[in-house]
Amino acid sequence: MVLSPLVQHLLGPTSKEILLASNSRATMPKNPKQTDFELVRIRNTWCRIKKGETIHDSENETTVSQAKIAEHISDGEISWTIEAPIFFCYKVVETLNLLDPSNKTLLYGHITDQKELERALNSERAQRRFIVMDMSVDELYGPIVKKYFEANYVHYKILSLSTTEETKSIDTVLHILEEVQNFSIDRRTEPIIAIGGGACLDIVGLAASLYRRRTPYIRVPTTLLSYVDASVGAKNGVNFLQCKNKLGSYVPPVATFLDRTFIKTVPRQHIANGLGEILKMALMKHRGLFNLLKSHGKFLLDTKFQSHNGLADHGDAALKTTRIAIETMLEELAPNLWEDDLNRLVDFGHLISPELEMRVLPSLMHGEAVNIDMAYMTYLSYVKGLLSDKEKDHIIQCMTTLELPVWHEECTWNLIKKALMERMKHSAGQMRMPLPTGLGTAGTLALCISVLWPRKKQSHLKAQSI
């Protein structure tokens, strides 16, 4: 071990020798001994017992925890390794007429325990709710939301904010937290409610996860993109130092309430924006969803996902499309909420797009940037021999039918390299690149710069995509 002159000077000769000797002992343990313990609750206190040991206490009720402790003793030193599983339960509920005062879902739909639900319904104490609404959503639905809570005798406060990628910051989070503190909620029985698009849900989710370390919150998405993407997972966050979602946490809501009627008031471009995330799931794992988008994409754009059973030639394409998109997303997210496994199909379209999206704000929305990333990766999959020329063309044609961009002038070779290197830097060198291997099937490719083609092929991709 070689120390710099400055460090040697600071340590001094004696301290340096002690440090070197300590490092030597740490790397060369003698006769290590490990004992595994289980944790058992007896008479209202937790006790550790050796793994496999019998509990002799028939007079008291005992509970065995899933948490475990391993004790390591070596050379007179001791250490403990704690394995403590964290359990999350959250609901994703599809409903109609969420803001109808007779529909109690918004107030009680998050409660999973029947006894707790009965207590809430029979409580004489007035319900209280703190609601954060995107400003544009407030203009459209604010009076209806107020009417809903007043009809149900709820004491409420609505905080109307501009929630865009430009305002998606820690300052906005702190502003929300200050208002929450002033309103004074009960963090166990009065969840914060977020009503808005993906940026709103992300911001409020982070604020709730910070307030008193974790306060329950509810998501009500009002755009197609947030309906099928941001609302159903555990992640939340804000932008920091011009980097997308650099600050955040993995804390899911207690519930997400889905009502497609909100989508009818968003502009057509926002519908296309959400279709980008739906197409992602179609390409990664569901050929049937891809066929739905290819056959009914224009119809879904025209009707803003408000179609219902009985429409000639289309059936209930909107319901089928959103349900499959959500179900496939949940299949991928639920086993890996904390992203411990880097082989994530839902990362398709999210390798280059964060850098591109932040570079060109506000000219590209999230789903549009994701689609440009997917178009690029579709061509990469083709040149790597994972897609046929016909499959590549089908994908690009579907993208254009859904009115999604497949290229942007700022998506340069330098930006692509920077985005991929930045992603590699924060993935411990283990990042995987999800790529389509067919229409509805996918695989992962180990990501390193060597898998990317030379600069001269970039112009070929641009020409193919356009």
3-state secondary structure of 162: coil
**Distance between CA atoms of residues 457 and 416, nearest Å:** 13
207-214 long-range contacts, CB within 8 A, separation 24+: 207/132, 207/173, 207/176, 207/177, 207/180, 208/251, 208/253, 209/236, 209/249, 209/251, 210/173, 210/177, 210/249, 211/177, 211/180, 211/181, 211/187, 212/187, 214/251
Q: What is the Cα–Cα distance from 322 to 232, expressed in whole angstroms?
A: 12
What single string gives the DSSP state of each residue in 275-322?
Answer: HHHHHHHHHHH-HHHHHHHHHHHHHHHHHTT---TT-TTTSSHHHHHH
At 167 the three-state DSSP class reads coil
Cβ-based burial of 293 (10 A; exposed 0-12, middle 13-18, buried ≥19): buried
Work out the widest C-alpha separation in the chain, in whole angstroms.
87
Helices 389-401 and 458-465 sit at what angle, rounded to 10 degrees? Answer: 60
51 phi and psi angles, rounded to 5 deg? -55, 130
- How far CA 233 is from CA of 173, 224, 228, 414, in Å, comes to 19, 15, 10, 32
Angle, in degrees to the nearest 10, between helices 317-333 and 287-303: 130
Q: Which residues contact 249 (CB under 8 A, 6 or more apart)?
A: 205, 206, 209, 210, 235, 236, 237
Q: In the annotation, is 235 catalytic?
A: yes
Task: Please state, in angstroms and rounded to a whole number, the distance separating the CA atoms of residues 222 and 268.
Answer: 14
Asked if residue 437 lies in contact with residue 386, where contact means CB atoms within 8 angstroms, the answer is yes
Q: Is 437 helix (H, G, I), strand (E, B) or coil?
A: strand
Phi-psi region of 429 (alpha: psi -120 to 50; beta: other; left: phi over 0): left
Rg, C-alpha atoms of the chain: 26
Please tell me which residue in 168, 235, 280, 285 is annotated as part of the active site: 235
Return d(Cα 256, Cα 91) in angstroms, integer: 6
Active site (catalytic) residues? 235
